[in-house]
Amino acid sequence: MTDRLESREKVTGTARYAFEYPVENAAYAAAVQASVAKGRIESVGAEDALKLPGVLAVLSCVNAPELSDTSDGELALFQSRTVSYRGQFVAAVVAETLETAREAARLLRVEYTEEAPDLRLLADHRGLYKPDKVNPAFPADTEQGEPEEAFGNSAVRVDAVYTTPAEHNNPMEPHATIAEWGEDGTLTLYDSNQGASTVQSTLAKIFGLEPSRVHVVSPHVGGGFGSKGTPRPNVVLAAMAARAAGRPVKFAVPRQQMFATTGYRTPTVQRLRLGAGEDGRLNAIIHDVAEQTSTVKEFAEQTATPTRMMYRAPHRRTAHRVVALDVPTPSWMRAPGETPGMFALETAMDELAAAAGIDPIELRVRNDTDREPESGLPFSSRNLVACLREGAERFGWAERDPRPRARREGRKLVGMGVASSTYPAYQSPNRAVARAEPDGTFTVRIAAADIGTGARTALALIAAETLKEDLRNVRVEIGDSSFPRASVAGGSGGTAGWGTAVVRACEALLGELDGAVPPEGVEASADTREELKNREEYARHAFGAQFAEVEVDVDTGEVRVRRMLGVFAAGRIINPKTARSQFIGGMTMGIGMALMEQSVMDQEFGDYLNRDLAQYHVPACADVRDIQAEWVEESDPHLNPMGSKGIGEIGIVGAAAAVGNAVHHATGVRVRDLPLTPGRILPEL
């Protein structure tokens, strides 16, 4: 168990985040958001704003410089008069102080020609279409056998519709950037992001620069959950404002503005059909998904992809349909696709267990498979059954009365639920450099990101092990685009991808050393691009099982999670201390998804009504009474040099379904629409 290497800096406040870097003569930017959901900007009245003392510049479609690359509509700031959604950035003010900038932004007068927006996701929306692919590059639809016929002929069937709402990431640190242009035309960005290399390459294209002329600095990031996986409008706005003002500019997106400009999880409408024999063995799985994107940029979430590999069934179909609405563009949020998709699948599996009269764990065991059902590839390792069995023993599943509504304690109905979880074991090419210093220590550099996951510590442990050195003699430097290029902190692939590059760089360094280090040191580098080719012989996934015990107040419909347990099979766990934190954090977000998180769209004006943490509810300590994470030992030689799988996202994947299934067991009520609020549960009790 290793403490985070940066823990002292974080708790003492010396860890420097994006907005805190000292720059000379810094100005501040404030953004103006569109007040209509669809329309056209007719005029921008800046006279009153420019009269305010301390105002340095106003930017809008009237005077903004032309950008070199506008292929990403969300980042093409002020390049068009079209308003695509309410809350879109339509102007910005730069001033000597933040207070002046915000006041001047209030004084801007933007006039619009307004059109009626289309805002509601419906399962039968006439604008639904089949996307070319779903995130990141999966086919939209798959089909094997005769699923409709097989479903119709099944002895036991489940046919239900499940919905999940829009949800917002809400990291603790807002999206923040300091932008500074050098006299030589170079751009320096102190930015909160999940990948300095990605920000560097993206901003270079947008402003027509060579990547080497963009320097991104982000060693400490206060959370992201996917919302900082790619650059957001804030970084473009800061860079544009700094050029207009001729001095460094700071811009942090206020919490209320984040709800329209930094991404969110798409709402979904999912129809799940499961057909099985009387013994519970699946004959047919049909999973149809409807979700939304924007008119600005397509993002199609891969909601049904976990259904393609989770359980064995000879007849199967998955399909994604997307509608482009007048809303902000959805994007990545912790375990995109798997999280809403597995809520529907694992709830349907619970319903199938009830319909067949089979224990929910036994049903999952009977439908386990050693090969990925659609591709036919063998799993590099799959210990789902071990997680279910271990979790059942630890949680006391055998003591559970299978009858719904069988346990009552005063006003409280008590029940237990289970759900499986899974996440792909992704790995991307990366580069790293390792250096033996003259003083006998070692330095490893890679443009990785630590968004609170403990990545810096894991990489140091990997380097120390490879070098056969004490951890105290190894320093890992990350979060800087001047370091070797790295993939984003996303897809639970950071440690696998970055760690492989670190291992190879350290191995190369050991090969360069002959027992002595020259006065100037010795350095070696690695690039894993070639190593990661031709990896199609195995299907690589992590698996887990999550258990929840809930109490439901019969008078109010309020649900409380008494205890929760997750047991995971994720290859070798590099650092148990930070790993447990990741698992628990994911399950905590799953409790939020199950019981409280939802972004409510105003169907008249086209804006999210609950745009702050006073109204968008996330779990607090009182909501997480007893939550435990464990893992089974798993050795998988087909992954990477460390034998590790990603752990940042699997914790959330099955959590909401486990809570929902426990609510059904407690009450006999099946609520298929998240979140499980008192208003949804009480009328059914």
Instruction: State the DSSP H helix or E strand holding residue 147, giving kind and residue range, or none if neither.
Output: helix 147-152
Shared domain check, 390 and 352: yes
Last residue of a domain, one of 527, 545, 567: 527
* 119 occurs within a structural domain: no
Shared domain check, 547 and 450: no
- Spatial CA neighbour of 445 closest among 459, 464, 461, 424: 459
Task: Supply the Cα-derived Rg of the chain in whole angstroms.
Answer: 26
Q: Which tokens go with 517?
A: 């280090």
Mean pLDDT across 188-213: 98
Whole-number percent of the chain with pLDDT over 70: 100
Whole-number percent of the chain with pLDDT over 90: 98
Task: For residue 378, count CB atoms less than 10 angstroms from its CB and return exposed for 0-12, middle for 13-18, buried for 19 or more.
Answer: middle
* 472 occurs within a structural domain: yes
> Is 194:488 a contact under the CB 8 Å cutoff?
yes
Shared domain check, 544 and 443: no
Give the active site residue among 111, 372, 649, 684: 649
* 644 occurs within a structural domain: yes
Task: Say how far residue 61 (Cα) sits from the centre of its chain.
Answer: 32
Q: Which tokens go with 580?
A: 């447990």
DSSP code at position 52: S
* 46 occurs within a structural domain: no
308-328 as b/e: b if 16+ CB within 10 A: bbbbbbebbbbbbbbbbbbbb
Shared domain check, 648 and 550: yes
- Spatial CA neighbour of 602 closest among 615, 585, 614: 615
Shared domain check, 560 and 413: yes
The pLDDT of residue 517: 78
Shared domain check, 487 and 620: no
The pLDDT of residue 535: 86
Mean pLDDT across 360-376: 97
In total, how many domains does the chain have?
A: 2
Shared domain check, 404 and 438: no
Question: C-alpha distances in angstroms, 79 versus 214, 257, 379, 458?
Answer: 22, 20, 48, 42
Q: CA 667, 668, 672: angle at the middle one, nearest 5?
A: 100
Please say if the pLDDT value at position 467 is more than 80: yes
Shared domain check, 470 and 571: no
Instruction: State the DSSP H helix or E strand holding residue 40, giving kind and residue range, or none if neither.
Output: strand 39-45
Task: Give pLDDT tens digits for 498-546.
Answer: 999 999 999 999 999 977 779 889 999 999 999 998 888 999 999 999 9
For the chain, give me the number of helices (H) and strands (E)? 17, 24
H helix runs in 253-400, sequence order: 255-261, 307-310, 338-356, 360-366, 384-395
Shared domain check, 476 and 397: no
Structural domain boundaries enclosing 500: 431-527
Shared domain check, 596 and 463: no
> Is 326:36 a contact under the CB 8 Å cutoff?
no
Q: What is the pTM of this model?
A: 0.97
What CATH number should be reported for the domain holding residue 588? 3.30.365.10
Amino acid in the structure at residue 364: R
Shared domain check, 411 and 346: yes
- Answer yes or no: 512 catalytic: no
Last residue of a domain, one of 495, 527, 559: 527
Last residue of a domain, one of 527, 556, 577: 527
Task: Give pLDDT tens digits for 24-45.
Answer: 999 999 999 999 999 999 999 9
> Is 100:55 a contact under the CB 8 Å cutoff?
yes
Q: Which tokens go with 427?
A: 């790995």
> Is 164:268 a contact under the CB 8 Å cutoff?
yes
Please say if the pLDDT value at position 264 is more than 90: yes
Phi, psi (5° rounding) for residue 436? -90, 120
407-435 as b/e: b if 16+ CB within 10 A: beeeebbbbbbbbbbbbbbbbbbbbbbbb
* 570 occurs within a structural domain: yes
The pLDDT of residue 228: 98
* 259 occurs within a structural domain: no
Shared domain check, 567 and 640: yes
* 296 occurs within a structural domain: no
> Is 80:66 a contact under the CB 8 Å cutoff?
no
Helix, strand and coil percent figures for the chain, each rounded to 5: 30, 25, 45
In 360-472, which ranges are E strands?
Answer: 408-409, 412-424, 431-436, 442-445
* 516 occurs within a structural domain: yes
Mean pLDDT across 194-207: 98
Task: Give pLDDT tens digits for 99-147.
Answer: 999 999 999 999 999 999 999 999 999 999 999 999 999 999 999 999 9
* Distance of alpha carbon 129 from alpha carbon 386, whole angstroms: 40
